[in-house]
Chain A
Amino acid sequence: MDASTPDIAGPATAASALLICEHCDTVHRRRPLARGEVAECARCGAVLERCRGMHARTMLALVLTALVVFVQATLWPIVTLGLNGQHVAATLWDMIHMMWVDHSQVVAVLAAGTLFVFPLCKILILGWLLLYARSGRRAPGFRRLMVALHHLGPWTMSEVFVLGALVSIVKAHLYFDVTPDPGIYAYGALMLLITVFAGIDLTRLWDETCDDEAAP
């Protein structure tokens, strides 16, 4: 992306024609991006902005799918182990509960936060924001929710848990009969959706929506 000395004499609001790289503080002149294009910082190579080429309606549909899949992944058992005719199945909540009663409360809290509370918050907030963003409006509480979404950032770990479940299955397979349950498939689908969302630049919602009477 091209960068040159910008005109800084204008009013502060005109500054949205500029982009500042959050990784190295370099100021760039903003250029309209085509579908699927990515603007990279000329100094440090970090991604400045990407154009997802996906309408808010499409994203809302994906978020709703993610919500359905997430609820299923959370409620359904993940795998069943069998030994001498005895069977044990576990859901995400069994896992959190077992860690709590087995003297690992720290792990129970970490798992409950990163695998349930934070992902659920992320999905609900996104759904709420996109519901309004479809028509270019800002949802009530837009400002605070966007900030919350930013802070939730790296604290959702469902994709790590999917890999962890696979490792557990391989380990358990040595000693037990392992039967996959619907939960693991729901997690697989969730992982695909998370990958789709990883490529979406949500800060663009700030520019694509404008304040109306609903703004605080």
Chain B
Amino acid sequence: MSALPRADELGLIGCHVCGQVCRAADEGDDVLACPRCGSTLHRRKPAVYTRTWALLIAAFLMYIPANLLPIMRTASLGDIDDNTILSGVVELWVKGSPGLAVIVFCASIMVPMLKFLALSTLLISCHRGSNWARRQRAKLYRLVELIGYWSMLDVFVVALLTALVRFGYFSLVEPLPGVVFFGLTVVLTMFASMCFDPRLIWDGKEDSDD
């Protein structure tokens, strides 16, 4: 692996905004700005572990009420039915189309869980300087970044149904607090994955790599 030099070893920094290759100053390189786009340059993003853990834990705390509390109330002819995320998926599976139920299940339940598991795995393994499955972990991070925002799906479904189903006494849909918590979970996990620095995966000793 010595054929692949790293910017850090060569005294270079790649700007994460515009990609410009910059020379790292020897002293106090934390206040360096990119000569091309003006963004602050960081060898590694600052306080990665503190920030990412904090946001991830906050997101998880939001995720509990998001799943336990109902996200949507359907009232028709005095008959009230509260739906949670999971019961919405089940209803779609039983009555509507199973294919769409699978998509909603992936976006609303699998993706957030994957984000929690993936980011904690990355944080713990990087903190230990582990060289286990580096390429796969790098891929996992890119996957999390790519699919993360699709979890907003259920939030938009509730919002659109609320706007559409307005038939007064005959039929009415209302949002319930669960959907607010779910929206916050998605936003917080997105911030958490942005705070993580994938370059940390490759830091530390490389002896027995691959």
- Which A residues lie at the B interface, using CB under 8 A? 3-6, 8, 12, 15-16, 18-27, 42-46, 78-79, 81, 83-84, 86, 88-90, 94-99, 102-104, 106-107, 110-111, 114-115, 143-144, 146-147, 150, 154-155, 157, 160-161, 163-168, 170-176, 203, 206
- With a CB–CB cut-off of 8 A, which chain A residues contact B132? none
Contact A26 to B4, CB < 8 A, known contacts A43-B202, A88-B164 = yes
CB distance from A179 to the nearest CB of B (A): 11
Interface residue count for B (Cβ, 8 Å)? 76
B138 touches A20 (CB 8 A): no
Among A23, A86, A176, A206, the residue within 8 A (CB) of B142 is A23
Contact A95 to B12, CB < 8 A, known contacts A24-B202, A106-B180, A157-B152 = no
A104 touches B21 (CB 8 A): no
Within 8 Å of chain A (Cβ to Cβ): is B163? yes
B160 touches A24 (CB 8 A): no
Within 8 Å of chain A (Cβ to Cβ): is B6? yes
Of chain A, the residue at the smallest CB distance from B187 is: A110
A176 touches B37 (CB 8 A): no
Q: Using an 8 Å CB-CB cutoff, how does the interface string of B172-210 with A read, 1 for contact, 0 for none?
A: 001100011001100100100010001101100000000
A26 touches B11 (CB 8 A): no
- With a CB–CB cut-off of 8 A, which chain B residues contact A84? 167, 170
Distance of A120 Cα from B122 Cα, bound (Å): 34
Distance of A166 Cα from B4 Cα, bound (Å): 47
B160 touches A168 (CB 8 A): yes
Of chain B, the residue at the smallest CB distance from A2 is: B3
A170 touches B100 (CB 8 A): yes
Among A6, A22, A94, A157, the residue within 8 A (CB) of B19 is A22
Among B22, B36, B138, B180, the residue within 8 A (CB) of A46 is B138
Distance of A161 Cα from B97 Cα, bound (Å): 19
Distance of A26 Cα from B199 Cα, bound (Å): 9
A88 touches B167 (CB 8 A): yes
